[in-house]
Copies of this chain bind each other. A is one copy, B any other.
């Protein structure tokens, strides 16, 4: 694995995003995450997984500069694999805890909404689904996972304003389940993960599926059409102009 770091701690596994400073998501990061989750799904020694970042970022989202020269077909391939990863995580049979150590933006934020629990550090870190601010739409699964966390109304406000939220604001809306200090993040995340790890796996998985499957069915049914529209907007001249600005500044 080039861009993620894996640690075992008792019956917990910690997956840490480590790609440059902002852990931008590209095809390889998505593949490494997918392969790692797949391995752990069948590893009985892993009872719960903590997903986290490093430094000041959990993840800044898609590697926009890296995608600028992709054809629409190649980019469609990437976003399909990304949404497949999200849906797979959303229905993952074991508990996933997102330990949000820093800024978590766009695609990074989407990943966390697939988890079972989100803990975020207070301070300067921001959480946002800011796609609209650079003229972009989002995926069906992203909308439905967000609604699962915060309800219809807050989901629409988050998406159509593109606001940047503090951990406290996010907690009030239900976008994160708990806030804590930077120093306590891993300790508290492990405590939450260990609590999940004590539960009988068949009961946990059954309850999670009863809770999530009807939501997943709706998002899967409309994802392909949503991706088509997402890509169309992404390659429109107005949105390309925004993306080029993002590329120059990064």
- Chain A interface (Cβ < 8 Å from any Cβ of B): 95, 116, 131-133, 135-138, 140, 143, 147-153, 155-157, 159-162, 174, 177, 195-196, 199-200, 202-204, 206-208, 210-215, 218, 222, 226, 229-230, 233, 236, 238-239, 242
A220 → B minimal CB distance (Å): 12
Q: Which residues of B contact A196 (CB under 8 A)?
A: 160
Q: Which residues of B contact A211 (CB under 8 A)?
A: 143, 147, 152, 155-156, 159-160
Identify which of B138, B160, B174 contacts A116 (C-beta below 8 A).
B160
In the complex, what distance in Å separates the CA atom of A116 from the CA atom of B155? 12
Closest to A219 in B: B214
A233 touches B214 (CB 8 A): no
Q: Interface residues of A: mostly helix, strand, loop or mixed?
A: helix
A147 touches B138 (CB 8 A): no
Task: Given A211-B143, A218-B214, decide whether A203 and B136 contact each other with a Cβ distance below 8 A.
Answer: yes
Identify which of B149, B159, B210, B236 contacts A202 (C-beta below 8 A).
B236
B208 touches A156 (CB 8 A): yes
In the complex, what distance in Å separates the CA atom of A150 from the CA atom of B148? 12
A238 touches B174 (CB 8 A): no
Task: Given A149-B153, A151-B151, decide whether A233 and B203 contact each other with a Cβ distance below 8 A.
Answer: yes
Q: Which residues of B contact A151 (CB under 8 A)?
A: 151-153
- List 4 tightest A-B contacts by C-beta distance, closest first: A137-B206, A135-B200, A156-B211, A143-B210
A200 touches B239 (CB 8 A): yes
B160 touches A152 (CB 8 A): no
A141 → B minimal CB distance (Å): 10
Q: Which residues of B contact A215 (CB under 8 A)?
A: 152
In the complex, what distance in Å separates the CA atom of A230 from the CA atom of B210? 11
A203 touches B155 (CB 8 A): no
Task: Given A137-B210, A222-B214, decide whether A204 and B152 contact each other with a Cβ distance below 8 A.
Answer: no
Q: Which residues of B contact A133 (CB under 8 A)?
A: 199
In the complex, what distance in Å separates the CA atom of A211 from the CA atom of B239? 20
